[in-house]
Chains A and B, each alone.
Chain A
Amino acid sequence: MCLGVPGKVVSVDGALATVDFWGVRREVRLDIVDEPVEPGDYIMNHVGFAIRRIPPEQIGQTLALYDELLKAMSEDDLMAADVRGEISATGEKKRD
């Protein structure tokens, strides 16, 4: 649970952002992130809240770690399960 999961901000509407996690679009709340977040930024999500804006120079490294975690993981891998849980923790984006 303390792992969090990174995603790319697609759009921002007040305190709510639409964020892309490996092709899955979800709503993430921006109440507690301490920097302004704009479309194109990457954020770290924890239980449906952005806890950190990832500095641009660290995005590549961060995504590589999670790619590795999610890659070829069996269904019952605990770390991958926690990461998937974090993605599910975000609100379902309603289809436009």
Chain B
Amino acid sequence: MADALARAVGEIGRAPVSVMHVCGSHEQAIAKYGLRAVFPRGLNVIMGPGCPVCVTDLPEVDEAVALAGQGVRIFTYGDMLRVPGTVRSLADAQAEGAKIEVVYSIGQAVQLARKSADECVFFASGFETTAVATAAVLLANPPANFSVLSAHKYIPPVMEIVAEMPETRVEGFLAAGHAATITGWGIFERFVERHRIPVVVAGFEPLDIMAGLLTLVELVRDRRAEVVNAYPRCVTREGNRRAQEVLWKVFRPTGGRWRGIAHVPNGNLRLRDEFAAFDARRRFTIQLARLWDYAPPSLAQSCVCGDIMAGIASPTDCPLFGRECVPDNPVGACMVSTEGTCRIWHQYGGHLNLGEER
């Protein structure tokens, strides 16, 4: 398969050919199984904005930190705790006594809220697959003291943005199998038509990824802008209709910033007006001003997380990677999440090569 991939890249006759995947689990598998070692030299496989925790924008974290400071009890997914805001993270607030708890599922947050007399806010991150769970909970009579601070993001619009970025020159996308389980692969048809860039939906086994990349490179070679489903055992054209209904009943897409990327039209998922009572942004006056008493962390200014998620830089381009910024003491969001590019590279052999230091 690696030979076939090398041949197809060779037949394109120019280097490098750059393709992008948008999924932390793809990057984990590529790094874990050492697939980059068998990719042909002329093929660039870039991780785009596929880590939901990483693309959560600083002001979204600021809102959660501010709410915690106002005495609201905050629940969130584990990785969100240490993601830096403009000046502080939720972990910083927690260390000073704010009520912040990590849950594995929004379902657990609801159960805890039912037993609580406090105002409880779930700080919700994740792409559409995870947003469906948030939507289902809001449709199932949550308690009156429960609300959601949504930082949910929607992947298809950001692919449009990245496809247009002159610096990245992405020639094809490898789309993530399980997100497409919900949306169906049909959702990429309009994208392919508009941008004339092929999309291949791929699974997570090393062979799935190699086969997906081979199909993608062949499409690039043959100048065929099409959607190919290379993961038919999980993904259909229509996707999970019921989940889509639940998702769009509760959420509407709005424009918003993704950390490091840009303003993404329709890239953020916000609660519809019918669910205003459960929308933390409308339920509370979020007092951001009191955060500005803290000084922003100075190291964060050298962090290139944004460029990494846009596919312009690699973790090894960052002066902090593996030195000041490590999983136990992360500077940027990409080193926090198990789906962050820096965390993955650091874990699977992206360690600083001390030999090069001399």
Contacts and interface: CB of A to CB of B under 8 A. Distances in A.
A41 to B, nearest CB: 15
B127 interface: yes
A2 B179 contact: yes
B130 A82 contact: no
B140 A31 contact: yes
A76 B205 contact: no
A67 to B, nearest CB: 12
Interface residues of B, number: 45
A76 B78 CA distance: 15
Chain B binding surface SS class: helix
B91 interface: no
Contacts of B339: 1, 78, 82
A65 interface: yes
Question: Which has the most chain B C-beta neighbours within 10 Å: A4, A46, A47?
Answer: A47
A1 to B, nearest CB: 6
A7 interface: no
Interface in B48-93: 52, 77-78
Contacts of B23: 2
B246 A32 contact: yes
B326 interface: no
Contacts of A55: 233
Interface string A42-73: 00101111011001001001100100000000
Given A1-B24, A89-B105, A49 B78 contact: no
B344 A2 contact: no
Interface in B113-145: 126-127, 129-130, 132-133, 136, 139-140
A60 to B, nearest CB: 11
A49 B136 CA distance: 9
Nearest to B339: A1
A32 B105 contact: no
Contacts of A79: 25, 28-29, 32
B105 A90 contact: yes
Interface of A: 1-4, 15, 29, 31-34, 44, 46-49, 51-52, 55, 58, 61-62, 65, 76-79, 81-82, 85, 88-91
25 contacts: A1-B52, A2-B127, A2-B129, A2-B176, A2-B177, A2-B179, A3-B204, A29-B107, A31-B140, A31-B246, A33-B240, A46-B129, A47-B104, A48-B104, A48-B105, A51-B129, A51-B132, A51-B178, A65-B205, A77-B32, A77-B347, A78-B343, A79-B32, A81-B338, A85-B338
